[in-house]
């Protein structure tokens, strides 16, 4: 969707990139720029930079880059138009043409209908729970120690043990089949798509409610030994994305909290609230997201993890504590003994025992150290050495004062002298500052949902730097375009040729074009490389000289590649005349190659 340039300019003026990015990661000034840990992948050393002057960002590790719009697209997992809408809402701006745009009017109307449909469905499920048909679900809740007032507080319900009870109720209330399917409440028949069935049936129902009190989605737990998955959940819809929401966050509204207790399941939350621990919430799935952390940050500054003690829960917490910390909240980890989940523990031992575990919760660093210790056999020399080496790499990433707190812990667990641990931490810290990863360090990226770093080839780097030289000033760009061998055909990397042409055109009418508006016209891959070029431009002191070097480098790569192609073609060619022609072209290029 195209937006008016003046409106887009106002939008970005009201959403200063430093202010927006600071909501996702902490930025510190260094060398005329702002630096921080990249919010898009795990890292120990800051490789993410923001230019307040050009209003662009760039990560030197994962290569993400662009304007504030591209940042929100990645940070919130949104398309271009939705990212613009997100920023407009943040700035309190109306979307252009929203009143006159029929498509936007239709989408807004559908959103409103889906919210209303979910609310009606929640009331239907709750009434069924209170009816004779809901007796199995009420008995289940009583067996789990959940009383009626707690069920009402969470809006719990029951989906009848039938295939279309909800559908019949909702259509009689005026909702269409398409609306119910769009809300995730009903589905088409597999064999006969003209038939419609309830998505949930014979399940205890948990409405997922937003912080503002709107019913967004549902979770359903099977009752007894029924068929099907233990839990079913609404998929993503027009009004719901599980990555952006937290279960029970609506119950935190208007409260001043020191901390939130983050658990894994619906029943964990409800059991803790039943026991009087009413600051418990749940992620909708094990993998915590930056969007969820930002939402929790509106209500508390500390998040205590209390996931299950199984392998999946441990991995989720290891990843989650870093995401919480990057969101500038304090992460803690509650260790529940005996492999119990929070629901099981609090029912067996009571709220007081759980709160004692919470008071003894581990810092993120201590949790990681404990995880490292549990992964080896500390009764063996190899195990102790492995633990100490891993721990030293972790401690090396900390500030010296914080590091000193944990050196004693590592020394005592490993049996290695404190001085040795301290010395090794210092060595690892120096290597990290110099950009040298320890020889046995793990990769900076893992395979769980993160974009892998894209290593630019020599030619791609040269094209990016040439583009950066053109961004320094209009005068420098004009001089570069007059250099021998300069041509837009030099650019082959996605986005560079397009951006160079856009920049040349923009320089015709502006001394200093608004880079943000140019980036707004590019797609993801294009904006990343152009955004990186904009960030690099600030460090260029001799643009004309650097551009000439870039052109030579690009031509050298271009000629070398063509020579290799010609050599392969001539070797395979059987026609003598054609082969001679290929060899002549090859010789001409070799002469050009010597001049570059």
Give domain status of residue 142, yes or no.
Answer: yes
Q: Using the 3D structure, point to which of 240, 270, 286 is the last residue of a domain.
A: 240
pLDDT at 526: 65
Give domain status of residue 136, yes or no.
Answer: yes
Whether residues 166 and 59 fall in one domain: no
Mean pLDDT value of segment 204-213: 93
Distance of CA 267 to the CA centre of its chain: 27
Whether residues 115 and 236 fall in one domain: yes
Give domain status of residue 494, yes or no.
Answer: yes
Lowest mean pLDDT among 25-39, 88-102, 419-433, 492-506: 419-433
Q: Using the 3D structure, point to which of 91, 123, 141 is the last residue of a domain.
A: 91
d(CA 149, CA 476): 72
pLDDT at 100: 56
Q: Using the 3D structure, point to which of 91, 126, 146 is the last residue of a domain.
A: 91
**Nearest alpha carbon to residue 371 among 383, 393, 387, 348:** 387
Whether residues 55 and 138 fall in one domain: no
- If one counts the domains in the chain, the total is 3
Residue 196 has pLDDT above 90, yes or no: yes
pLDDT at 183: 96
pLDDT at 437: 38
pLDDT at 525: 58
Give me 309's structure tokens.
Answer: 């003690």
pLDDT at 446: 32
Give domain status of residue 168, yes or no.
Answer: yes
d(CA 259, CA 267): 20
pTM of the model: 0.61
Helix (H) or strand (E) holding 14: helix 5-14
pLDDT at 438: 39
Give domain status of residue 220, yes or no.
Answer: yes
**What integer best gives the mean pLDDT of the chain?**
84
411: confidence class by pLDDT, cuts 50, 70, 90: very high
Neighbour-count burial of 250, counting CB atoms closer than 10 A to its CB (0-12 exposed, 13-18 middle, 19+ buried): buried
Map residue 177 onto helix, strand or coil. helix
Residue 449 has pLDDT above 50, yes or no: no
d(CA 202, CA 484): 76
Residue 38 has pLDDT above 50, yes or no: yes
Residue ranges making up the domain that contains 479: 458-592
> What pLDDT digit, counting tens, does each position of 325-380 carry?
887 789 999 999 888 899 999 999 999 999 999 999 999 999 999 999 999 999 99
Whether residues 45 and 123 fall in one domain: no
d(CA 368, CA 321): 9
Give domain status of residue 76, yes or no.
Answer: yes
Give domain status of residue 205, yes or no.
Answer: yes
d(CA 12, CA 72): 12
> What pLDDT digit, counting tens, does each position of 559-576 carry?
888 888 888 887 787 888
Give domain status of residue 256, yes or no.
Answer: no
Mean pLDDT value of segment 376-388: 92
DSSP character at residue 251 = G
pLDDT at 575: 81
Whether residues 106 and 143 fall in one domain: yes
Whether residues 105 and 236 fall in one domain: yes
Whether residues 105 and 84 fall in one domain: no
Residue 447 has pLDDT above 60, yes or no: no
pLDDT at 1: 52
**CATH at 53:** 3.90.580.10
Whether residues 67 and 119 fall in one domain: no
pLDDT at 455: 44
> What pLDDT digit, counting tens, does each position of 19-28 carry?
999 888 889 9
Name the pairing type of β-strands 280-283 and 186-188.
unpaired
């Amino acid at each position: 969707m195209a937006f008016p340039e003046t409106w887009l300019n106002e939008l970005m003026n009201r959403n200063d990139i430093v202010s927006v990015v600071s909501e996702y990661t902490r930025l510190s000034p260094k060398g005329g720029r702002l630096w921080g840990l990249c919010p898009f992948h795990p890292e120990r050393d800051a490789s993410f930079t923001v230019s307040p002057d050009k209003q662009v960002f760039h990560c030197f590790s994962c290569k993400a880059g662009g304007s504030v719009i591209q940042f929100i697209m990645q940070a919130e997992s949104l398309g271009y138009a939705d990212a613009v809408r997100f920023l407009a809402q943040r700035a309190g701006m109306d979307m252009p043409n929203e009143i006159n745009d029929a498509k936007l009017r239709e989408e807004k109307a559908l959103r409103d209908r889906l919210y209303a449909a979910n609310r009606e469905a929640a009331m239907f499920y709750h009434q069924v729970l209170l009816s004779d048909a809901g007796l199995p679900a009420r008995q289940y809740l009583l067996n789990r120690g959940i009383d009626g007032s707690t069920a009402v507080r969470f809006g719990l319900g029951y989906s009848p043990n039938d295939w279309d009870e909800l559908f019949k109720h909702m259509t009689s209330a005026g909702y269409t089949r398409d609306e119910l399917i769009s809300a995730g409440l009903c589905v088409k028949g597999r064999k006969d798509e003209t038939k419609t069935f309830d998505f949930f049936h014979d399940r205890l129902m948990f409405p997922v409610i937003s912080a503002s009190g709107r019913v967004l989605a549902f979770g359903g737990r099977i009752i007894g030994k029924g068929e099907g998955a233990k839990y079913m959940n609404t998929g993503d819809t027009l009004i719901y994305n599980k990555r952006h929401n937290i279960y029970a966050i609506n119950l935190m509204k208007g409260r001043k909290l020191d901390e939130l207790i983050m658990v894994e399941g619906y029943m964990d939350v409800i059991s803790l609230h039943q026991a009087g621990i009413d600051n418990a919430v749940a992620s909708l799935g094990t993998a915590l997201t930056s969007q969820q952390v930002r939402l929790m940050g509106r209500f508390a500054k500390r998040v205590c993890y209390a996931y299950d003690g199984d392998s999946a829960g441990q991995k989720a917490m290891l990843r989650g504590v870093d995401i919480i910390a990057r969101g500038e909240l304090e992460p803690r980890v509650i260790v529940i003994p005996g492999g119990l989940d929070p629901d099981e523990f609090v029912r067996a031992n009571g709220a007081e025992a759980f709160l004692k575990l919470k008071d003894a919760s581990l810092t993120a660093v201590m949790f990681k150290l404990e995880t490292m210790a549990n992964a080896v056999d500390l009764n063996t020399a190899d195990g102790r050495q492995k633990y100490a080496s891993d721990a030293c790499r972790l401690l090396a990433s900390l500030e010296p004062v914080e590091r000193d707190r944990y050196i004693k812990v590592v020394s005592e667990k490993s049996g290695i002298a404190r001085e040795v641990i301290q010395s090794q931490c210092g060595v690892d810290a120096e290597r990290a500052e110099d950009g040298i990863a320890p020889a046995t360090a793990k990769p900076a990226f893992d395979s769980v949902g993160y974009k892998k770093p894209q290593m630019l080839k020599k030619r791609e780097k040269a094209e990016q730097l040439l583009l950066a030289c053109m961004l320094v000033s209009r005068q420098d760009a004009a001089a570069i375009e007059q250099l021998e061998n300069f041509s837009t055909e030099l650019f082959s990397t996605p986005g560079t040729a397009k951006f160079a042409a856009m920049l040349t055109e923009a320089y015709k009418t502006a001394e200093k074009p608004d880079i943000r508006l140019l980036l707004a016209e590019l797609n993801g891959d294009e904006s990343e490389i152009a955004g990186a070029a904009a960030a690099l431009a600030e460090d260029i002191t001799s643009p004309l000289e650097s551009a000439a070097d870039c052109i030579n480098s690009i031509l050298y790569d271009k000629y070398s590649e063509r020579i290799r192609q010609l050599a392969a073609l001539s070797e395979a060619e059987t026609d003598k005349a054609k082969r001679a022609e290929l060899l002549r072209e090859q010789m001409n290029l070799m002469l050009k190659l010597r001049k570059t």
